[in-house]
Amino acid sequence: MLSFLARRLLTFVPTFVGVTLIAFAFIRLLPGDPILLMAGERGVSAERYEQLRQQFGFDQPIWQQYLDYVAGIFQGDLGTSFVTKRPVLDEFMALFPATVELGLCAIILATLIGIPAGVIAAVNRGKFFDQALMSTALVGYSMPIFWWALLLIIVFSGWLGWTPVSGRMGLVYFINGPTGFMLIDSLLSGQSGAFRSAVAHLILPTVALATIPLAVIARQTRSAMLEVLGEDYVRTARAKGMSPVRVNGVHALRNALIPVVTVIGLSVGTLLAGAILTETIFSWPGIGKWMVDSIFRRDYQVVQGGLLLIALVVMIVNLLVDVLYGFINPKIRKG
C-alpha cells in the first residue's frame, strides 16, 4: 500500500509540472502583448508599461520567468486580479466553498440514487424496470445541462414559483459564517428561515449539476454489475444458498464498486466543468462563474491562477480516489 502510494505520488510530480507549464504558457500564448492584455482596455502609459514589465519579469529570459513563476506558486503568489486588485488565491479561497458545497451535494445525490438504480437495473436485466431506468439514464446522460437548468428555472421558479432563480441566500439574511458552507453557516447563524433559504437556493443547481453524474454512475454501476454477475464467484455465492439480495448486494456489488468508485472520482472533473455552466446560469458565486466572468473581463491573471488551482483540485481528488481504490481493492492493498 505504501509503495503504491509512493508510486502514485511520483506520477503526481510530472503532471504538476505540466500543469504549471500550461498555466505559465497561457498568458504568453495569448495573441498580443501580455502586459497590454493584462492591463485591460484602459491601456497604460509608457512608464507604467515599463514598470509592469519589470514587475512581472517579462524582461527576464523565459526559463527565468518560469522558475520565478513556480517559486511564486510555492509562496502562494498566483498573481493579482486586475479588476478587483485582490490576490488570486484569496479570491479563489473565498469562492471555493460555494463550489464545493454545490459539488458535494450533487455528487451525494448522484451516488445515493445512481448506485441502487444501477444495481436494480442489472439484476432485472432486460425487464421493464431496467429498460425504463436505463432510458431515463441515457436521457440524463445526453442532457445539455445549460438547457436543462433553464428548463428547471422555467418550471420551478417561473411556473410554480417554488424556488429562487439565482444566488445562494435570500437577500434578507446576512450570513458570513465560519465555514463558507451556506447550509452549515445558516444553521449556525440562528437566523430563522436562513437554512430554508439556503436549501431552496441549493436545490435547482444541485439537480442540474447532479444529472449527468447520476446518469453516468447508474450506467456504470449497471454494466459493472452485469460483468461481475457473470463471474465464477457469484455462482459460488449462489451455490452456497445465499439470498439474491446478499449475492447481488454484497458479493457482486463489493466487486462492482471498484470501477464505480473510479467513475465517481473521475466525475469530479465533469462536475467542475458542469459547475462552469450551472454556476453561470444560477449566478452561484463559485469558482466556475468566477472563471467565466474573468475570461470575459480579460482578467487573465485570474484565469491563469484559476486554471492552475482547478487542475490541482482535480489532481488531488484523483489521488484520493486512487487511495480509496486501493482500500476497496484488496489486490492492490496487499500487493
Using the contact rule CB under 8 A, the part of the chain among 62-70, 80-88, 108-116, 268-276 near other proteins is 268-276
Pick from 48, 132, 233, 320: which binds other proteins (CB under 8 A)? 233
Pick from 100, 188, 203, 295: which binds other proteins (CB under 8 A)? 295
Yes or no: say if 295 and 100 are a contact pair by the CB < 8 Å rule: no
Instruction: By CB under 8 A, tell whether 119 contacts other proteins.
Output: no
CB of 53 to other proteins, least distance (A): 21
Q: How far apart are CA 208 and CA 89, in angstroms?
A: 28
The stretches of 33-176 forming alpha helices (DSSP H) are 34-39, 46-55, 62-74, 88-123, 128-141, 145-152
- How many Cβ atoms are within 10 Å of 237's Cβ, its own excluded? 18
Instruction: By CB under 8 A, tell whether 280 contacts other proteins.
Output: yes
- Phi and psi at residue 133, to the nearest 5°: -65, -45
CB of 254 to other proteins, least distance (A): 4
- The 1-40 site mask, x for binding other proteins (CB under 8 A), equals ----------x--xx--xx--x---x--xxx---------
- How many Cβ atoms are within 10 Å of 123's Cβ, its own excluded? 20
Instruction: By CB under 8 A, tell whether 147 contacts other proteins.
Output: yes
Exposed/middle/buried for residue 122 (C-beta within 10 Å: 0-12, 13-18, 19+): buried
Pick from 93, 315, 321, 323: which binds other proteins (CB under 8 A)? 315
Instruction: By CB under 8 A, tell whether 296 contacts other proteins.
Output: yes
- The 42-81 site mask, x for binding other proteins (CB under 8 A), equals ----------------------------------------
Tell which residue, 308, 311, 297, 300, has the closest CA to residue 27.
Answer: 300
DSSP letter string over 177-195? -SSS-HHHHHHHH--TTHH
Number of residues that bind other proteins (CB under 8 A): 70
Instruction: By CB under 8 A, tell whether 307 contacts other proteins.
Output: yes
Beta bridge partner(s), residue 87: 80
- The 187-226 site mask, x for binding other proteins (CB under 8 A), equals ------------------------------------x--x
**How far are the Cα atoms of 81, 100, 184, 269, 316 from residue 180, in angstroms, in the given order?**
21, 10, 8, 22, 21
CB of 318 to other proteins, least distance (A): 8
Pick between residue 84 and residue 270 the one whose CB is nearest to other proteins. 270
CB of 138 to other proteins, least distance (A): 6
Grid cell, residue 208, equals 442540474
Taking only Cα atoms into account, the Rg of the chain, rounded to an integer number of angstroms, comes to 24
CB of 7 to other proteins, least distance (A): 13
CB of 101 to other proteins, least distance (A): 18
Exposed/middle/buried for residue 159 (C-beta within 10 Å: 0-12, 13-18, 19+): exposed
Using the contact rule CB under 8 A, the part of the chain among 1-9, 56-64, 104-112, 266-274 near other proteins is 266-274
Tell which residue, 237, 272, 279, 274, has the closest CA to residue 254.
Answer: 237
- How many Cβ atoms are within 10 Å of 332's Cβ, its own excluded? 15
- Phi and psi at residue 80, to the nearest 5°: -130, 140
Instruction: By CB under 8 A, tell whether 41 contacts other proteins.
Output: no
- Residues lying near other proteins in the complex (CB under 8 A): 11, 14-15, 18-19, 22, 26, 29-31, 135, 138-139, 141-144, 146-148, 150-151, 153-154, 157-158, 223, 226-227, 231-233, 235-243, 251, 254-255, 269-274, 276-277, 280, 291-292, 295-296, 303, 307, 310-311, 314-315, 318, 328-331, 334-335
